[in-house]
């Protein structure tokens, strides 16, 4: 295969620059695939040369990045999923580059064919086209990041390799390019507007609860937040029962990060169960898919995040641990701490569910919630037809276990559970 000579910047005699660039990119990706980092970095450095050669390589990389993003959407990934996974597998530099690639690729879709949830994710990621023209993006990106062109080439190649190897995930909504039906605003749409106002207040309360140095104030703020979530859950369920629920369960992916990802996933599972949702952990991907009704999904994410902040703060406050010989046992202590925290939270959720089962909403609300339970179970079965239950990990640090249970006892959860813990499924 004819290709330019290293360091010469000369076009090969038997192929166009575009063909040579595609061959060059393919060779670099093959080096990545076989794990030959030496060859990969040598090839990435060869991405420089004459203006024509550099432009051809950049255009080829841009094309492969757009194709990789498109394939990600086809395989069920969403913008936040791609950026989080990129950060987990690569670096923050890669994450910023893939965010730009997403912003550029999204220009291919009419705004009328982009779901609101995608818009929210794109806004949160600040995925927008900030560069003047696509051919100039690599130079602008290198200038913004303070890196050399070879770094851009290496990052782009590693992103293409990552994107083209993404596994298929269950779809959590219409991908961009899907024509949405028009018509008047539905009851579900009006309920969604109410959701955002209520959830905004809840977010503000939880943020204050997590930042205050006074435990009494934090408890009062958390109780108020939980009261709002409980009231919102009742209102939402009754509204859909009265008007006819035109939509079913939805899903969202919530990050479960290292370290100690296993007990964190357990904590998310028990919080999801309490909120009439189900969580499925994708360990290798670094997140869980939580399935439930939209309002309850928002409550799960906020409550899980708040409990994790509280648990982490208490765990760090407990300090490092060493055994009798002075060897560090901090990791085993913290792993046991979070496992115990999640286990104790689960116990408290079940206790609250039993207390609330007799009269949470009376004869009107209970059948509505039961119907939702069945709908969520069907949705999980459809998304994950081969789902298998995992086994809990072992714990080797008794001190950490005791400390974690004590920390869980301080977490106030009853406000939310008096509604969502009722009529718990066996």
CA dist., res. 161 & res. 68, Å (int): 9
Query: Residue 212: helix, strand or coil by DSSP?
Result: coil
Question: 101 falls in which pLDDT band (50, 70, 90)?
Answer: very high
Residue-wise pLDDT tens digits, 175-228: 999 876 543 333 344 445 446 777 788 778 878 877 776 656 665 666 566 556
- Is-contact 280 380, C-beta < 8 A? yes
Q: What is the DSSP string of 132-187?
A: S-GGGHHHHHHHHHT--HHHHHHHHHHHHHHHHTPPP----SPPTTPPPP-SSPPH
pLDDT at residue 200, as a whole number: 81
Rounding to the nearest 10 degrees, give the CA dihedral for residues 129, 134, 138, 139: -100
Residue-wise pLDDT tens digits, 25-82: 999 999 999 999 999 999 988 877 788 899 999 999 999 999 999 999 999 999 999 9
Tell me 106's DSSP state.
G
- Is-contact 46 24, C-beta < 8 A? yes
- Is-contact 223 306, C-beta < 8 A? no
Please count the other Cβ atoms lying within 10 Å of the Cβ belonging to residue 23: 17
Q: Which of 83-92, 262-271, 336-345 reaches the highest mean pLDDT? A: 83-92
Higher-scoring residue by pLDDT: 292, 361? 292
- Tokens describing residue 222: 């958390």
Question: 302 falls in which pLDDT band (50, 70, 90)?
Answer: confident
Query: Residue 325: helix, strand or coil by DSSP?
Result: coil
Residue of 98, 100, 102 lying closest to 90 (CA atoms): 98
Residue of 338, 142, 362, 346 lying closest to 234 (CA atoms): 362
pTM of the model: 0.77
pLDDT at residue 240, as a whole number: 74
Tell me 6's DSSP state.
T
Q: What is the DSSP string of 277-310?
A: -EEEEEGGGTEEEEEE-HHHHHHHHHHHHHHHHH
pLDDT at residue 370, as a whole number: 81
pLDDT at residue 63, as a whole number: 97
Higher-scoring residue by pLDDT: 210, 169? 169
Report residue 254: phi and psi, to 5°: -120, 130
pLDDT at residue 14, as a whole number: 36
Mean pLDDT (whole number) for 310-323: 70
Characterize 107-125 residue by residue with b for buried, 16 or more Cβ atoms within 10 angstroms of its Cβ, and e for exposed: eeeeeeebbebbeebbeeb
pLDDT at residue 425, as a whole number: 36
pLDDT at residue 260, as a whole number: 87
Query: If you search the block for the tokens 């609250």, which residue do you land on?
Result: 352
Characterize 254-272 residue by residue with b for buried, 16 or more Cβ atoms within 10 angstroms of its Cβ, and e for exposed: bbbeeebbbbbbbbbbbbb
Rounding to the nearest 10 degrees, give the CA dihedral for residues 162, 168, 173, 175: 50
């Amino acid at each position: 295969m004819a290709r330019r000579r290293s360091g010469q910047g000369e076009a090969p005699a038997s192929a166009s620059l575009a063909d040579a660039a595609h061959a060059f990119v393919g060779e670099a990706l093959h080096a990545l695939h076989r794990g030959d980092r030496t060859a990969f970095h040598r090839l990435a450095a060869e991405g420089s040369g004459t203006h024509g050669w550099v432009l051809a390589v950049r255009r080829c990389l841009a094309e492969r990045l757009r194709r990789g993003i498109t394939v990600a959407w086809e395989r069920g990934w969403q913008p936040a999923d791609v950026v989080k996974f990129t950060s987990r597998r690569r670096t923050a530099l890669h994450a910023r580059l893939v965010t730009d690639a997403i912003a550029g690729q999204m220009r291919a879709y009419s705004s009328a064919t982009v779901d609101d949830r995608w818009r929210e994710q794109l806004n949160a990621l600040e995925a927008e086209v900030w560069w003047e023209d696509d051919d100039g993006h690599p130079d602008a990106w290198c200038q913004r990041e303070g890196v050399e062109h070879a770094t851009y080439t290496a990052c782009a190649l590693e992103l293409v390799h990552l994107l083209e190897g993404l596994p298929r995930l269950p779809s959590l909504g219409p991908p961009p390019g899907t024509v949405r039906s028009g018509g008047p605003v539905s009851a579900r749409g009006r309920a969604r507007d109410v959701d955002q106002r209520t959830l905004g207040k809840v977010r503000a309360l939880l943020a204050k609860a997590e930042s205050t140095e006074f435990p009494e104030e934090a408890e009062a703020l958390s109780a108020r937040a939980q009261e709002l979530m409980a009231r919102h859950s009742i209102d939402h369920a009754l509204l859909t029962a009265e008007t006819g629920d035109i939509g079913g369960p939805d899903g969202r992916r919530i990050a479960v990060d290292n370290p100690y990802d296993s007990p964190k996933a357990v904590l998310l599972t028990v919080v999801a169960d309490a909120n009439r949702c189900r969580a499925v952990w994708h360990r290798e991907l670094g997140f869980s898919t939580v399935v439930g009704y939209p309002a309850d999904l928002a409550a799960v994410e906020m409550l899980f995040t708040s409990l994790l902040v509280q648990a982490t703060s208490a765990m760090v406050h407990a300090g490092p641990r060493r055994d009798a010989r002075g060897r560090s046992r901090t990791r085993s202590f913290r792993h046991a701490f979070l496992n115990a925290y999640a286990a104790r939270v689960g116990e408290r959720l079940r206790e609250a569910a039993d207390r609330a089962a007799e009269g949470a909403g009376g004869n009107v609300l209970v059948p509505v919630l039961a119907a939702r339970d069945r709908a969520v179970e069907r949705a999980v079965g459809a998304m994950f037809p081969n789902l298998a239950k995992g086994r809990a990990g072992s714990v080797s640090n008794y001190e950490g276990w005791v400390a974690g249970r004590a920390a869980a006892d301080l977490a106030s959860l009853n406000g939310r559970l008096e509604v969502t813990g009722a009529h718990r499924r066996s």
